[in-house]
Amino acid sequence: MNLLENIVGATKEIFETMIMMEITPGDALSESVTEFKGSISGVIGLAGSCKGMLAIHLPDSVAMSITSNFLGMDVDEVNDDVTDAIGELANMLAGNIKMVLDVAGNKVTLSIPSCIHGEEYTMGCVSDADWVVVPFDTNAGQFLVELQLQCND
Amino acid sequence: MDLDLQKQIIDSTQAVFDSMLMIPITTGAILSEKVYTFQTSISGMLGFAGDVQGMLTIHCPQNVAFTITTALLGVDIDTVDDDVKDTIGELANMVLGGIKDGFVEQGIQINLAIPTVLAGRSYRISGMDDASWTTVPFHLNEGDFLVELKLKTNK
Protein backbone atom coordinates (compact mmCIF):
# COMPACT_ATOMS: atom_id res chain seq x y z
CA MET A 1 0.00 0.00 0.00
CA ASN A 2 1.87 3.05 -1.22
CA LEU A 3 0.58 5.85 0.96
CA LEU A 4 2.62 8.51 -0.77
CA GLU A 5 1.36 7.71 -4.26
CA ASN A 6 -2.22 7.54 -3.03
CA ILE A 7 -2.02 10.90 -1.29
CA VAL A 8 -0.43 12.59 -4.27
CA GLY A 9 -2.96 11.01 -6.64
CA ALA A 10 -5.99 11.88 -4.49
CA THR A 11 -4.88 15.44 -3.81
CA LYS A 12 -4.05 16.20 -7.42
CA GLU A 13 -7.38 14.82 -8.59
CA ILE A 14 -9.42 16.87 -6.12
CA PHE A 15 -7.51 20.05 -6.90
CA GLU A 16 -7.77 19.57 -10.65
CA THR A 17 -11.44 18.63 -10.77
CA MET A 18 -13.08 20.40 -7.82
CA ILE A 19 -10.88 23.34 -6.91
CA MET A 20 -9.29 24.12 -10.23
CA MET A 21 -5.96 25.07 -8.76
CA GLU A 22 -2.47 24.05 -9.86
CA ILE A 23 -0.51 22.21 -7.22
CA THR A 24 2.96 20.68 -7.21
CA PRO A 25 3.70 17.82 -4.83
CA GLY A 26 6.99 17.83 -2.97
CA ASP A 27 8.91 14.96 -1.45
CA ALA A 28 7.38 13.25 1.56
CA LEU A 29 8.72 14.83 4.75
CA SER A 30 11.14 12.79 6.82
CA GLU A 31 9.71 14.21 10.04
CA SER A 32 6.15 14.86 11.01
CA VAL A 33 5.15 18.50 11.45
CA THR A 34 3.25 19.04 14.65
CA GLU A 35 3.45 22.77 15.37
CA PHE A 36 1.29 25.25 13.53
CA LYS A 37 0.88 29.02 13.68
CA GLY A 38 -1.86 31.07 12.07
CA SER A 39 -3.12 27.90 10.46
CA ILE A 40 -6.11 25.70 9.81
CA SER A 41 -6.19 21.93 9.96
CA GLY A 42 -9.00 19.81 8.54
CA VAL A 43 -9.11 16.30 10.03
CA ILE A 44 -11.17 13.22 9.44
CA GLY A 45 -10.93 9.70 10.82
CA LEU A 46 -10.90 6.43 8.90
CA ALA A 47 -12.20 3.27 10.54
CA GLY A 48 -12.81 -0.34 9.66
CA SER A 49 -10.26 -2.89 8.48
CA CYS A 50 -7.85 0.06 8.26
CA LYS A 51 -7.94 2.78 10.86
CA GLY A 52 -6.32 6.14 10.71
CA MET A 53 -6.56 9.83 10.23
CA LEU A 54 -6.19 12.18 7.33
CA ALA A 55 -5.33 15.82 7.94
CA ILE A 56 -4.72 18.79 5.73
CA HIS A 57 -2.74 21.63 7.29
CA LEU A 58 -2.74 25.07 5.70
CA PRO A 59 -1.57 28.54 6.70
CA ASP A 60 -4.57 30.93 6.88
CA SER A 61 -3.68 32.67 3.58
CA VAL A 62 -3.49 29.40 1.64
CA ALA A 63 -6.80 28.23 3.16
CA MET A 64 -8.49 31.47 2.10
CA SER A 65 -7.10 31.22 -1.41
CA ILE A 66 -8.26 27.62 -1.80
CA THR A 67 -11.72 28.52 -0.44
CA SER A 68 -11.99 31.40 -2.89
CA ASN A 69 -11.26 29.04 -5.76
CA PHE A 70 -13.55 26.35 -4.41
CA LEU A 71 -16.52 28.61 -3.79
CA GLY A 72 -15.96 31.05 -6.66
CA MET A 73 -16.03 34.07 -4.37
CA ASP A 74 -13.44 36.24 -2.68
CA VAL A 75 -12.63 35.32 0.89
CA ASP A 76 -10.51 37.62 3.03
CA GLU A 77 -10.92 36.25 6.54
CA VAL A 78 -11.09 32.83 8.11
CA ASN A 79 -14.83 32.47 8.57
CA ASP A 80 -17.29 29.55 8.52
CA ASP A 81 -17.04 29.35 4.70
CA VAL A 82 -13.33 28.65 5.04
CA THR A 83 -13.60 26.10 7.85
CA ASP A 84 -16.48 24.32 6.08
CA ALA A 85 -14.48 24.26 2.83
CA ILE A 86 -11.39 22.85 4.50
CA GLY A 87 -13.48 20.24 6.36
CA GLU A 88 -15.05 19.30 3.02
CA LEU A 89 -11.62 19.11 1.39
CA ALA A 90 -10.46 16.66 4.08
CA ASN A 91 -13.68 14.70 3.47
CA MET A 92 -13.07 14.50 -0.29
CA LEU A 93 -9.41 13.51 0.06
CA ALA A 94 -10.29 10.81 2.59
CA GLY A 95 -13.10 9.63 0.29
CA ASN A 96 -10.60 9.17 -2.50
CA ILE A 97 -8.17 7.29 -0.27
CA LYS A 98 -11.01 5.13 1.05
CA MET A 99 -11.86 4.09 -2.51
CA VAL A 100 -8.28 3.04 -3.15
CA LEU A 101 -8.18 1.08 0.10
CA ASP A 102 -11.51 -0.64 -0.62
CA VAL A 103 -10.38 -1.63 -4.12
CA ALA A 104 -7.32 -3.22 -2.50
CA GLY A 105 -9.62 -5.44 -0.44
CA ASN A 106 -10.12 -3.38 2.71
CA LYS A 107 -13.38 -2.12 4.15
CA VAL A 108 -13.02 1.45 5.33
CA THR A 109 -15.59 4.03 6.40
CA LEU A 110 -15.10 7.71 7.21
CA SER A 111 -15.97 9.64 10.37
CA ILE A 112 -17.12 13.25 10.13
CA PRO A 113 -14.58 16.01 9.52
CA SER A 114 -13.55 18.66 12.01
CA CYS A 115 -11.66 21.82 11.36
CA ILE A 116 -9.21 23.46 13.76
CA HIS A 117 -8.14 27.07 13.48
CA GLY A 118 -5.64 28.67 15.81
CA GLU A 119 -2.90 31.20 16.23
CA GLU A 120 -0.67 28.61 17.76
CA TYR A 121 -1.41 24.91 18.27
CA THR A 122 0.19 21.51 18.11
CA MET A 123 -1.50 18.51 16.66
CA GLY A 124 -0.29 14.95 16.65
CA CYS A 125 -1.48 11.40 16.46
CA VAL A 126 -1.18 9.17 19.42
CA SER A 127 -0.35 5.85 17.86
CA ASP A 128 2.36 3.90 16.09
CA ALA A 129 0.53 3.79 12.79
CA ASP A 130 2.41 4.29 9.50
CA TRP A 131 2.41 7.93 8.52
CA VAL A 132 3.23 10.07 5.55
CA VAL A 133 3.29 13.87 5.24
CA VAL A 134 3.39 15.38 1.77
CA PRO A 135 3.87 19.09 1.05
CA PHE A 136 2.11 20.67 -1.93
CA ASP A 137 3.02 24.05 -3.44
CA THR A 138 0.41 26.42 -4.81
CA ASN A 139 0.74 30.00 -6.01
CA ALA A 140 -0.64 31.06 -2.60
CA GLY A 141 1.86 29.05 -0.57
CA GLN A 142 2.41 25.53 0.70
CA PHE A 143 0.06 23.13 2.48
CA LEU A 144 0.59 19.67 3.93
CA VAL A 145 -1.46 16.49 3.63
CA GLU A 146 -0.87 13.99 6.38
CA LEU A 147 -2.11 10.41 6.52
CA GLN A 148 -1.73 8.05 9.45
CA LEU A 149 -2.88 4.53 8.71
CA GLN A 150 -2.85 1.12 10.30
CA CYS A 151 -4.34 -1.80 8.37
CA ASN A 152 -5.27 -5.24 9.71
CA ASP A 153 -3.08 -7.84 8.05
CA MET B 1 -33.01 4.11 16.67
CA ASP B 2 -33.07 6.05 19.87
CA LEU B 3 -29.63 6.67 21.25
CA ASP B 4 -29.51 8.57 24.52
CA LEU B 5 -26.17 10.22 23.80
CA GLN B 6 -26.06 12.07 27.08
CA LYS B 7 -26.44 8.82 29.02
CA GLN B 8 -23.86 7.05 26.86
CA ILE B 9 -21.35 9.84 27.50
CA ILE B 10 -22.00 9.95 31.24
CA ASP B 11 -21.95 6.19 31.76
CA SER B 12 -18.75 5.69 29.81
CA THR B 13 -16.87 8.66 31.28
CA GLN B 14 -17.86 7.77 34.84
CA ALA B 15 -16.74 4.18 34.28
CA VAL B 16 -13.33 5.26 32.97
CA PHE B 17 -12.75 7.68 35.82
CA ASP B 18 -13.96 5.26 38.49
CA SER B 19 -12.08 2.20 37.34
CA MET B 20 -8.98 3.42 35.48
CA LEU B 21 -8.18 6.78 36.99
CA MET B 22 -9.72 6.62 40.41
CA ILE B 23 -10.56 10.32 40.32
CA PRO B 24 -13.98 11.37 41.61
CA ILE B 25 -15.89 13.46 39.09
CA THR B 26 -19.34 14.97 39.07
CA THR B 27 -21.46 15.41 36.00
CA GLY B 28 -22.72 18.82 34.99
CA ALA B 29 -25.76 19.80 32.98
CA ILE B 30 -25.59 19.09 29.29
CA LEU B 31 -24.53 22.26 27.43
CA SER B 32 -27.17 24.12 25.48
CA GLU B 33 -24.65 26.07 23.42
CA LYS B 34 -21.66 24.68 21.61
CA VAL B 35 -18.25 25.64 22.88
CA TYR B 36 -15.97 26.30 19.98
CA THR B 37 -12.98 28.17 21.35
CA PHE B 38 -10.39 26.91 23.80
CA GLN B 39 -7.43 28.57 25.51
CA THR B 40 -4.47 26.83 27.06
CA SER B 41 -6.21 23.55 26.56
CA ILE B 42 -5.79 20.10 25.16
CA SER B 43 -8.38 18.36 23.01
CA GLY B 44 -8.32 14.67 22.23
CA MET B 45 -10.30 13.86 19.07
CA LEU B 46 -11.32 10.41 17.89
CA GLY B 47 -13.43 9.72 14.82
CA PHE B 48 -15.66 6.71 14.34
CA ALA B 49 -17.70 5.21 11.53
CA GLY B 50 -20.01 2.30 10.84
CA ASP B 51 -23.78 2.26 11.29
CA VAL B 52 -23.38 5.89 12.33
CA GLN B 53 -20.40 8.21 11.97
CA GLY B 54 -19.05 10.97 14.12
CA MET B 55 -16.34 12.22 16.39
CA LEU B 56 -15.75 12.19 20.12
CA THR B 57 -13.69 15.03 21.55
CA ILE B 58 -12.51 15.57 25.10
CA HIS B 59 -11.57 19.17 25.86
CA CYS B 60 -9.39 19.72 28.95
CA PRO B 61 -7.90 22.90 30.31
CA GLN B 62 -4.19 22.39 30.92
CA ASN B 63 -4.35 21.85 34.73
CA VAL B 64 -7.12 19.32 34.40
CA ALA B 65 -5.03 17.46 31.82
CA PHE B 66 -2.08 17.47 34.24
CA THR B 67 -4.22 16.03 37.05
CA ILE B 68 -5.56 13.27 34.84
CA THR B 69 -2.07 12.41 33.54
CA THR B 70 -0.60 12.35 37.05
CA ALA B 71 -3.37 10.00 38.17
CA LEU B 72 -2.83 7.65 35.23
CA LEU B 73 0.98 7.60 35.24
CA GLY B 74 1.73 8.18 38.90
CA VAL B 75 4.28 10.93 38.17
CA ASP B 76 4.02 14.67 38.72
CA ILE B 77 3.34 16.55 35.52
CA ASP B 78 3.65 20.27 34.95
CA THR B 79 4.24 20.78 31.22
CA VAL B 80 2.25 19.76 28.19
CA ASP B 81 4.52 16.98 27.00
CA ASP B 82 4.02 13.69 25.18
CA ASP B 83 2.85 11.97 28.38
CA VAL B 84 -0.01 14.44 28.68
CA LYS B 85 -0.94 14.19 25.01
CA ASP B 86 -0.78 10.39 25.03
CA THR B 87 -2.99 10.35 28.14
CA ILE B 88 -5.67 12.56 26.65
CA GLY B 89 -5.60 10.55 23.42
CA GLU B 90 -5.95 7.35 25.43
CA LEU B 91 -8.78 8.89 27.46
CA ALA B 92 -10.69 9.59 24.24
CA ASN B 93 -10.05 5.99 23.19
CA MET B 94 -11.35 4.58 26.47
CA VAL B 95 -14.45 6.79 26.65
CA LEU B 96 -15.39 6.09 23.03
CA GLY B 97 -14.71 2.38 23.62
CA GLY B 98 -17.30 2.44 26.39
CA ILE B 99 -19.74 4.31 24.17
CA LYS B 100 -19.14 1.76 21.40
CA ASP B 101 -20.19 -1.01 23.84
CA GLY B 102 -23.27 1.02 24.77
CA PHE B 103 -24.14 1.38 21.08
CA VAL B 104 -23.76 -2.38 20.51
CA GLU B 105 -26.48 -2.97 23.12
CA GLN B 106 -28.73 -0.79 20.94
CA GLY B 107 -27.80 -2.75 17.83
CA ILE B 108 -25.45 -0.06 16.44
CA GLN B 109 -21.96 -1.08 15.32
CA ILE B 110 -19.13 1.40 15.03
CA ASN B 111 -15.39 1.20 14.45
CA LEU B 112 -12.94 3.61 16.00
CA ALA B 113 -10.29 5.56 14.04
CA ILE B 114 -7.08 6.65 15.81
CA PRO B 115 -6.92 9.55 18.28
CA THR B 116 -5.44 12.95 17.43
CA VAL B 117 -4.44 15.33 20.18
CA LEU B 118 -4.55 19.05 19.75
CA ALA B 119 -2.96 21.48 22.21
CA GLY B 120 -2.50 25.21 22.12
CA ARG B 121 -2.67 28.65 23.54
CA SER B 122 -5.80 29.47 21.59
CA TYR B 123 -7.71 27.42 19.01
CA ARG B 124 -11.17 27.01 17.61
CA ILE B 125 -12.72 23.75 16.48
CA SER B 126 -15.63 23.65 14.08
CA GLY B 127 -17.35 20.70 12.53
CA MET B 128 -19.95 20.25 9.86
CA ASP B 129 -23.15 21.54 11.34
CA ASP B 130 -25.41 18.83 10.01
CA ALA B 131 -24.29 16.50 12.75
CA SER B 132 -26.11 16.31 16.06
CA TRP B 133 -23.90 17.16 19.01
CA THR B 134 -24.10 16.55 22.73
CA THR B 135 -21.61 18.03 25.19
CA VAL B 136 -21.47 17.07 28.85
CA PRO B 137 -19.22 18.90 31.32
CA PHE B 138 -17.56 16.97 34.14
CA HIS B 139 -16.18 18.60 37.22
CA LEU B 140 -13.15 17.71 39.24
CA ASN B 141 -11.24 19.80 41.80
CA GLU B 142 -8.93 21.40 39.27
CA GLY B 143 -11.70 22.41 36.91
CA ASP B 144 -14.09 21.14 34.30
CA PHE B 145 -13.51 19.09 31.20
CA LEU B 146 -15.97 18.58 28.38
CA VAL B 147 -16.90 15.42 26.54
CA GLU B 148 -18.45 16.21 23.19
CA LEU B 149 -20.03 13.64 20.90
CA LYS B 150 -20.92 14.56 17.33
CA LEU B 151 -23.00 12.09 15.40
CA LYS B 152 -24.44 11.77 11.95
CA THR B 153 -26.70 8.94 10.87
CA ASN B 154 -26.62 7.54 7.34
CA LYS B 155 -29.55 8.77 5.35
Query: Chain B contact for A95, CB < 8 A?
Result: no
Residues of A in contact with B152 (CB under 8 A): 112
Question: Is the pLDDT confidence value at A130 over 90?
Answer: no
pLDDT the model gives residue B103? 95
Cβ neighbours of B85 in A, within 8 Å: 124, 126
Closest CA–CA distance from residue B112 to any residue of chain A (Å): 6
Closest CA to A115 of B152, B47, B125: B125
Say which CATH topology domain B5-22+36-153 has. Chemotaxis protein chec (3.40.1550)
Q: Which tens digit of pLDDT belongs to each residue from A62-101?
A: 999 999 999 999 999 999 999 999 999 999 999 999 999 9
Can you give the pLDDT at residue B98?
A: 97
Which residue segments constitute the domains of chain A, with CATH numbers given?
Answer: 3-14+35-151 (3.40.1550.10)
B41-100 confidence digits (pLDDT tens): 999 999 999 999 999 999 999 999 999 999 989 888 989 999 999 999 999 999 999 999
pLDDT at A1: 63
The pTM (predicted TM-score) of the whole model is 0.93
Inform me whether the pLDDT recorded for B154 exceeds 70: no
What average pLDDT does range B100-113 have in this prediction?
Answer: 95
Enumerate the H helices of chain A as residue ranges: 3-14, 60-71, 80-103
Chain B residues within 8 angstroms (CB to CB) of chain A: 44-50, 53-55, 57, 85-86, 89-90, 110-128, 131, 150, 152
- For chain B, the domains span 5-22+36-153
Q: What is the ipTM of this complex?
A: 0.89
Q: What is the mean pLDDT of residues B20-42?
A: 91
The CA-CA-CA angle for residues B30, B35, B38, to 5°, reads 130
Contact A129 B110 (CB under 8 A): no
Residue in chain A nearest B118 by alpha carbon:
A123
Predicted confidence band of residue B148 (pLDDT cuts 50, 70, 90): very high
SS3 label, residue A117: strand
Does B127 contact A115 at a Cβ distance shorter than 8 Å?
yes
Q: Which helix (H) or strand (E) holds B14?
A: helix B5-16
Could you tell me if A142 and A31 are in contact, meaning their C-beta atoms sit under 8 angstroms apart?
Answer: no
Q: Going by C-beta distance under 8 Å and a sequence separation of 6 or more, which residues neighbour residue A17?
A: none
Average pLDDT, chain B: 92
Interface test with A, best of B87, B114, B150 (most A CBs within 10 A): B114
A67 and chain B in contact, CB less than 8 A: no
Taken in order A91, A68, B36, A40, the sign of the CA dihedral is positive
Task: Report d(CA B127, CA B136) in Å as an integer.
Answer: 17
* pLDDT digits 0-9 by tens, B123-139: 999 876 678 899 999 99
CB pairs below 8 Å between A and B: how many? Answer: 136
Confidence of residue B2 (pLDDT cuts 50, 70, 90): low
**pLDDT the model gives residue A125:** 79
Higher pLDDT, B135 or A152: B135
- Please check whether residue A104 is in contact with residue A121, taking contact to mean a CB–CB distance below 8 angstroms: no
DSSP 8-state secondary structure symbol assigned to residue B142: T
Query: Would you state the pLDDT for residue A82?
Result: 96
